[in-house]
Amino acid sequence: MARLPRLIVPNQPYHVIQRGNNRQTIFREEADYQRFLSWLKEISRFYEVAIHAYVLMPNHIHLLATPVNDTGLAQMMQKLGRLYVPWFNHKYERSGGLFEGRFRTSLIDTDSYFLACSRYIELNPVRAELVSSAADYSWSSYAHHAGIRPDSLITDHTLFWSLGNTPFQREAAYMGLVEQGMPQTEVDFITSSVLKNSPLASQTFKAELERKTQRQILPAKRGRPRKQPIPPLPAA
């Protein structure tokens, strides 16, 4: 069966995850992280994909990004792979693929889940027990959102700006959200959504998305359709 094309709605944020093949390490030292981020900045701008949050983990990456059209996100990820993988292979004298198949995506119900997804991404190193605080991890967008250091890769979303009238207010409010942590149910829902390429959204949002895109979003009803009764033959 042919694989359905990826559902991309322009100007809608997406949670993106790309894993190393067989969970292998994709960043071995500081220069690898820096090289990847440099290309991400350049390529995301070329393909008009706004990056709102990110984390580079040793064996996978997370992005929170908004494309302006239905092709830019895939083009950006493909170009990143075409540049980074040969560079990495040459540097470490290896060959073959580095990433695990297609990247995964989850379209986000902005009002309900955007800030939750941003926190989820930046708290990933804490959940993995690499650091005790999001501020201690060098390869994420948390330092930008917390006002520790600006990051020119990041395009602040309007929901981040709505957290306060001044940079200090926004940064303090965001740090407060991150420090609250996340309930495990929310973590599980975000994880499940992106791994299944399913929208991170309420059932109402999914139903409306299904109507607008004419694509099946909600689970199909189980069982065969009920047979309609056969009408009686007309009298002779």
Instruction: Output the pLDDT for position 219.
Output: 63
Per-residue model confidence as pLDDT tens digits over 206-226: 888 888 777 777 665 655 555
DSSP letter, residue 64: E
Backbone angles phi, psi at 228, to 5 degrees: -80, 140
- pTM, two decimal places: 0.88
Instruction: Output the pLDDT for position 208.
Output: 82
Q: Give the rounded percent of residues in the chain with a pLDDT score beyond 90.
A: 76
Instruction: Output the pLDDT for position 123.
Output: 97
8 Å CB contact between 106 and 199: yes
Query: Which candidate, 53, 39, 10, places its Cα nearest to that of 154?
Result: 53
CATH class of 14-196: alpha beta
Question: 6 falls in which pLDDT band (50, 70, 90)?
Answer: confident
Q: Which residues, listed in sequence order, are joined to residue 200 by a DSSP beta bridge? A: 108
Better pLDDT: 198 or 37? 37
Per-residue model confidence as pLDDT tens digits over 126-164: 999 999 999 999 999 999 999 999 999 999 999 999 999
Say whether pLDDT at 107 is over 60.
Answer: yes
